[in-house]
Structure 1
Amino acid sequence: MAPIQHLTLDPSHPLPPTRNHPNNAISTSMPDAKETKVHPTISGAENASLYLVGTATIILSWAGIRLMTDPNFLHAVDHVHLGPGVTGTRVTNPAVDLNDLPHVDAVLLSHYHADHFDQKVEESLRRDLPIITTPHAKSHLANKAGENELFTAVYELDTFDSMFLEVQPTAGEASKDAGRLKAVKVIAMPGKHIPPGVLGTLNDLVGAVPPTNGWMLELGSHTGESDASFQCGYRIYISGDTLMVDELKEIPERYSGQNIDLMLVHLGGTTIPSPHMPLLMVTMDAKQGLELVRLIGPEMTIPIHFDDYDVFLSPLEDFKKVMAEAGLDKKVIYLDRGDDYKFSVKEI
């Protein structure tokens, strides 16, 4: 297990997410949500939010910082390369354009795939924006050819490795919190984009589909003197692009007795080379999504990554149906692009 890394984020000095941002004044506010959702039975003290941009791109806002997952800002009819001879066409538009984003403090990149880190994003993001990702993705981003092209703040996390994103407090906050730092603990979770067996072994050899992480995000605080002093006030599991594989069973084992407040599950039943020729499924369909809900047992689930590209075979309606049939329809929140979900992180 690698040593735990620490990265300090300073919300008092917002920087643009892109290196050629069109505005001199950087907004610190997200666009107004089309619709705001909250927990159906626990609400009234929300201090954090998730905003769905589209596909697997979520923006988490809490304690003055903003984290963005899997940035994909292509528009309808734009194409992405998904593997040898395989392309996908976007069929939706993102809720906000890349150049209209307010400041972003860090990016969580589950894997180096163009529908999660598209060519426009790769060209445009400022090079010192912190990116937390897989060792495979770091090998590409931190070694890009060309003057001023490589990303200079890429942090790699292998399965179950972790790091702290610590929030620099203002003077008043430091006094109020008696030395405790608000922090997000990021832990890399297992995931498999290709099913195990012959295909998985072959992919490991040729590298056609990149390795992927899920994430566990723990929002809380610690003294900064010891990692063991961290106390979690809210826990979010993000599945990443994975199938229902045995490695996922270790997650509830590791978190036995600890509440997982929210799960973001990547669905869609992504098929390659296309839904018209579904030779191989590489993300969960509705049935596997239900299996994951039962395995993880989150308080609430939000499905994402299900209709933005023409490679999806399993529509959201399939997931709604199986969740309702399982009696779990009260444990899921559905967001459209441009919607947000507000929730409460316990003050520790």
Structure 2
Amino acid sequence: MKHLTLDPNNPQPPTRKHLHPPTSLVGAKETKVHPKGSDGSEDAQLMFIGNATTILSWQGIRLLTDPNFLHAGDHVHLGPGVSGVRLKDPAIDLHDLPHIDLVLLSHYHGDHFDQIVEDELRRDLPIITTPHAKSCLTAPTKKGEDEFTAVTDLDFFDSCFIDIKDGAAEGNKQLSIKVTGMPGKHVPPGPVDKANDLLHAVPPTNGWMLELGYIPSGQGEDSFQSGYRIYISGDTLFVDELKEIPERYKNKGIDLMLIHLGGTTLPGPKMPLLMVTMDAKQGIELVRLISPDLTIPIHFDDYDVFLSPLSDFKKVMEDAGLSDKVLYLDRRDEFKFRVK
């Protein structure tokens, strides 16, 4: 089992060129809690930055997902001869980030890890990602830039423990975050998928299962206790491989699902030849399959390649009687929750 150790008492700047970042995250525009209400005991928060970019904060540790900080009007490369235009600005700029302890990268695609991010993130910032993305991030660049030096790759159902240094809970427990790669398919199965294997036009992708919890003092990783479980779908379609997730987590419960939606089409909505992320119809099927306690949709309207607006997902959730199982965040909104 792979292990990383993060030290909340030794914060480091996220970028190489701006060595004095702000000490705290920008204030939330709106703070939301579970639709069922709150008792005020929340000790973790998730802020939505835009597209698939979020910041998860717990016990002094900050995890950044799929960093994409391009601005409205910027172009991003999505495949051979295919590009997208960003339509909305992220909630904050890259250089307004406070310290970030770890990046969770679902796949090596420009709308999830843009060129500015790749150029400016500090090279020893820990990154957990796919084997394909690791090969890209650790290869010497054409510009002669240094490669990233702290990249951990996880394939489907591989796991890694992130131990929080000096983290102590009641009973002197080792606070930890368990990250497990989840299956995902960015390209539909069949001839197109086989052609993509040869052309490498659309990169392979992971989903993630994050478990915030602890390991009892003096015991091994097999004794890990999860206090809050977050499933992040990643840029996947609703494919058969996803059906293994509820089987593996049967009777364990998934507290939160971050679902990538949008119905991304290539080369674009005006010529929708290929859909590579879930639309609303597939999205609700995933909600039914995973059956999380709460779902938060992300990745739905930042680029001009999205065909299925968030309103489509809202409608199918309402029609299914699941409105109390979903929470909608605008950019710079945060969701607060409690890790048991």
Task: Say whether residues 1:158 and 2:151 are aligned partners.
Answer: no
Quick one: distance in 2 between partners of 1:130 and 1:217? 16
Partner of 2:132: 136
Alignment of 1:105-144 (within 5 A): 105-144=101-140
Quick one: distance in 2 between partners of 1:123 and 1:59? 20
Partner of 2:86: 90
Matched-pair identity in %: 67
Which runs of no fewer than 5 residues in structure 1 stay unpaired?
none
Deviation at residue 225 of structure 1 after TM alignment:
4.1
Quick one: distance in 2 between partners of 1:220 and 1:29? 24
Distance change >3 Å, CA 194–CA 67, structure 1 → 2 = same
Task: Say whether residues 1:301 and 2:295 are aligned partners.
Answer: yes
Deviation at residue 224 of structure 1 after TM alignment:
6.6
Quick one: distance in 2 between partners of 1:299 and 1:86? 37
Quick one: distance in 2 between partners of 1:271 and 1:86? 11
Deviation at residue 28 of structure 1 after TM alignment:
3.5
Quick one: distance in 2 between partners of 1:296 and 1:203? 28
Aligned amino acid, residue 16 of structure 1:
P
Task: Say whether residues 1:215 and 2:208 are aligned partners.
Answer: yes
Quick one: distance in 2 between partners of 1:148 and 1:114? 18
Which runs of no fewer than 5 residues in structure 2 stay unpaired?
none
CA contact (8 A) 2:246 2:289 kept: yes
CA contact (8 A) 1:22 1:99 kept: no
User: Which structure 1 residue ranges, 4+ long, deviate > 2 Å from structure 2?
Assistant: 144-148, 176-179
Task: Say whether residues 1:70 and 2:66 are aligned partners.
Answer: yes
SS for the counterpart of 1:203 is: helix
SS for the counterpart of 1:112 is: coil
State the TM-score, normalizing by the size of structure 2.
Answer: 0.97
Alignment of 1:241-260 (within 5 A): 241-260=235-254
Deviation at residue 207 of structure 1 after TM alignment:
0.6
Quick one: distance in 1 between partners of 2:47 and 2:104? 15
Alignment of 1:263-274 (within 5 A): 263-274=257-268
SS for the counterpart of 1:168 is: strand
Quick one: distance in 2 between partners of 1:72 and 1:244? 24
Task: Say whether residues 1:283 and 2:277 are aligned partners.
Answer: yes
Distance change >3 Å, CA 6–CA 224, structure 1 → 2 = farther
Distance change >3 Å, CA 19–CA 165, structure 1 → 2 = same
Aligned amino acid, residue 193 of structure 1:
H
Aligned amino acid, residue 274 of structure 1:
G
Task: Say whether residues 1:31 and 2:40 are aligned partners.
Answer: no
CA contact (8 A) 1:235 1:259 kept: yes
Aligned amino acid, residue 150 of structure 2:
A
CA contact (8 A) 2:13 2:19 kept: no
Aligned amino acid, residue 334 of structure 1:
Y
CA contact (8 A) 1:144 1:151 kept: no
State the TM-score, normalizing by the size of structure 1.
Answer: 0.95
Distance change >3 Å, CA 337–CA 276, structure 1 → 2 = same
Deviation at residue 235 of structure 1 after TM alignment:
0.1
Aligned amino acid, residue 249 of structure 2:
Y
Aligned amino acid, residue 289 of structure 1:
G
Quick one: distance in 1 between partners of 2:19 and 2:174? 33
